[in-house]
Amino acid sequence: MNHQMLGSVAAMALSAGAAQADYTLHVLHINDFHSRIEAINKYDTTCSAEEAAKGACFGGIARVATKVKELRDSLTAAGQNVIFVDAGDQFQGSLMYTTYKGAVEAEFLEQIRPDAMALGNHEFDDGPEGLGTFLDKVSFPVISGNLDVSQSNVLAGRVKNHVVLEVGGEKIGIISALAVDTVETASPGPSVIFQDEIDSLKADVAALEAEGVSKIIAINHVGFAMDQKIAAEVPGIDAVVGGHSHTYLSATDPKRKGAYPTWVSQPSGAMVPVVQAYAYSKYLGHLELTFADDGTLKYAGGDTLLLDASVTPDPVIEARVKELAGPIEELKTRVVAESAAEIDGSRETCRQVECQMGNLVADAMLDRVADQGVTVAIANGGGLRASIDAGPVTMGEVLTVLPFQNTLSTFTVTGADIVAALENGVSQHEDGAGRFAQVAGLKYTFDVSQPVGSRVSDVMVKAGDAWAPIDPAAEYETVSNNYVRGGGDGYKMFVNARNAYDFGPDLADVTAEFLARNGAYTPYLDGRITKK
Domain at 335-531, CATH class: alpha beta
DSSP-derived letter for residue 299 is E
Amino acid at 322: K
Query: Where in 220-294 does DSSP place strands (E)?
Result: 239-241, 249-250, 258-259, 262-265, 271-275, 283-291
Compute the distance between CA of residue 387 and CA of residue 401 in angstroms, rounded to an integer. 7
**What is residue 49's predicted lDDT score, i.e. its pLDDT?**
85
**What is residue 3's predicted lDDT score, i.e. its pLDDT?**
46
Going by pLDDT thresholds of 50, 70 and 90, the confidence category of residue 67 is very high
**What is residue 500's predicted lDDT score, i.e. its pLDDT?**
96
DSSP-derived letter for residue 188 is -
Which strand (E) or helix (H) includes residue 117?
Answer: strand 116-118
Q: What average pLDDT does range 56-63 have in this prediction?
A: 97
DSSP-derived letter for residue 375 is -
Q: What average pLDDT does range 322-333 have in this prediction?
A: 88
Q: What percent of the chain has pLDDT over 90?
A: 81
Query: Would the CA dihedral through 129, 134, 140, 143 be positive or negative?
Result: negative
- Cβ atoms of 223 and 229 within 8 Å: the answer is no
**What is residue 130's predicted lDDT score, i.e. its pLDDT?**
96
Cα 410 to its chain centre, rounded Å, is 14
Going by pLDDT thresholds of 50, 70 and 90, the confidence category of residue 42 is confident
**What is residue 9's predicted lDDT score, i.e. its pLDDT?**
39
Other CB atoms within 10 Å distance of the CB of residue 338: 15
Nearest alpha carbon to residue 282 among 63, 528, 500: 63
Q: Helix, strand or coil for residue 527?
A: coil
Cα 267 to its chain centre, rounded Å, is 31
Strand pairing partners for 411? 478
Is the per-residue pLDDT at 416 higher than 90? yes
**What is residue 469's predicted lDDT score, i.e. its pLDDT?**
98
Compute the distance between CA of residue 38 and CA of residue 30 in angstroms, rounded to an integer. 16
- Cβ atoms of 171 and 213 within 8 Å: the answer is yes
Is the per-residue pLDDT at 5 higher than 60? no
Rg (CA), the chain: 25
- Cβ atoms of 493 and 420 within 8 Å: the answer is yes
**What is residue 2's predicted lDDT score, i.e. its pLDDT?**
44
**What is residue 356's predicted lDDT score, i.e. its pLDDT?**
98
Going by pLDDT thresholds of 50, 70 and 90, the confidence category of residue 14 is very low
Q: What average pLDDT does range 373-398 have in this prediction?
A: 92
CB within 8 Å of 5: residues ≥ 6 apart = none
**What is residue 8's predicted lDDT score, i.e. its pLDDT?**
39
Q: Which pTM does this prediction carry?
A: 0.76
Q: What average pLDDT does range 286-309 have in this prediction?
A: 96
Is the per-residue pLDDT at 277 higher than 60? yes
Is the per-residue pLDDT at 54 higher than 90? yes
Start-end ranges of CATH 3.90.780.10 in the chain? 335-531
Higher pLDDT, 488 or 89: 89
pLDDT tens digits for range 110-137: 999 999 999 999 899 889 999 999 999 9
Full DSSP string of 411-429: EEEEHHHHHHHHHHHHTTG
Q: What average pLDDT does range 21-46 have in this prediction?
A: 92
Which strand (E) or helix (H) includes residue 475?
Answer: strand 475-481
**What is residue 246's predicted lDDT score, i.e. its pLDDT?**
87
pLDDT tens digits for range 441-483: 999 999 999 999 999 999 999 988 899 999 999 999 999 999 8
Higher pLDDT, 311 or 386: 311
Cα→Cα distances 429→205, 356, 357, 451, 453, Å: 56, 18, 18, 12, 12
Q: What percent of the chain has pLDDT over 70?
A: 96
Q: Comparing 60-64, 172-176, 305-309, 331-335, which segment has the lowest mean pLDDT?
A: 331-335
**What is residue 20's predicted lDDT score, i.e. its pLDDT?**
56
Compute the distance between CA of residue 100 and CA of residue 328 in angstroms, rounded to an integer. 10
- How confident is the prediction for the chain on average, in pLDDT? 93
Distance separating the N- and C-terminal Cα atoms of the chain: 58
Strand pairing partners for 457? 445
Start-end ranges of CATH 3.60.21.10 in the chain? 25-326
Q: Helix, strand or coil for residue 392?
A: strand
Nearest alpha carbon to residue 448 among 461, 460, 431: 431
Cα→Cα distances 250→256, 286, 412, Å: 6, 11, 31
Is the per-residue pLDDT at 257 higher than 90? yes
Architecture of domain 25-326: 4-Layer Sandwich (3.60)
Nearest alpha carbon to residue 294 among 170, 163, 166: 170
Q: What average pLDDT does range 271-291 have in this prediction?
A: 97
Q: Helix, strand or coil for residue 472?
A: coil
- Cβ atoms of 221 and 240 within 8 Å: the answer is no
